[in-house]
Amino acid sequence: MSQTPAAPTAPLAPPGPDYGPTSQGLKDGGTVEPVREILWGSSVGIRKYETAEEVPEAMRKLIIKLMVVQADTEFASIQQHRPWLDQAPVLEDRWIEARIVADEARHGLQACRILRDFGEEGQQYIDELLKKREGEHKLDAFNMKFDRWSDVGAFTCFVDRVGVYQLRAFQECSYGPLARAMPLMLSEEQLHLNFGASVLRRMAKDGPKYYGTKAEAQEAIHKWFPRALDMFGHSHSETSMKAIEMGLKRWTNEEARARYLTEIAPIVHGMGLELPPTDFDRHVM
């Protein structure tokens, strides 16, 4: 029996970048239709995989690999943020720092829960992840320290924003439990990158009246922007092609990197700051 959602009693929220209209619909007693079929890749149109047991072997390996990297970045960023929990210069910044750390811990937990569904093998990876110390992580961006407050701003503005593209690439992917984890993680990440942009903007505009200097903000951009671009991975990565074919990822590394560049350039220029050339100090092309 199908139920007709109740008629809205208040005007719908204007379409926002995220989940405004959906939230309003739910408040009004509506439901959100889950997407059941695979939307892209070689199995388009068939039902999504909903349990670890039914996932084909090659896909199982790839989901584990992707979730290990995902969880590793979440746990690493907690280590990077930790010294700033009681050093953020402004009261509100200090609270947001604490909140970011809590969010990253939850994201790590969420990625590990997906790993745990893959039984003993997944649990072994979780045990290894929990032992990793600073400097032992997979991606360079997560082995670098936040030496100054401008690093916190640039990391959250640039590196967390890459994280958002990685999560958006998983949105509505062919593995149901992973697809369903995305909306909450994405809404939390949005806070992180808005915060990062706000730190850099305040440094650039107000200088020592806020904290630090415009020059420090610029130096931090030169430090983190190349590492952020590296995070997308090699342009002709076979793994990323496989992930698209399996319906796990939406974009190739190069497509995601191009989208990111289109988004970040006006944000940085709006702060009166500059981006270095895209090939500056790059390790992974």
- Residues that bind Fe ion in the complex, under the rule CB under 5 A: 74, 104, 107, 160, 189, 192
- For residue 190, the minimal CB distance to Fe ion (Å) is 9
- For residue 100, the minimal CB distance to Fe ion (Å) is 6
* CB nearer to Fe ion: pick between 73 and 174: 73
* CB nearer to Fe ion: pick between 192 and 201: 192
* CB nearer to Fe ion: pick between 74 and 172: 74
Residues 275, 264: contact at Cβ < 8 Å?
Answer: yes
Tokens found for residue 221: 């951009």
The kind and range of the H/E element at 160 are helix 160-170
- For residue 99, the minimal CB distance to Fe ion (Å) is 10
- For residue 83, the minimal CB distance to Fe ion (Å) is 17
Q: How far apart are CA 270 and CA 91, in angstroms?
A: 25
- For residue 143, the minimal CB distance to Fe ion (Å) is 17
* CB nearer to Fe ion: pick between 168 and 242: 168
Nearest CA-CA partner of 278 in 232, 217, 229: 229
- Which residue blocks in 33-87 are alpha helix, DSSP H? 57-81
* CB nearer to Fe ion: pick between 59 and 179: 179
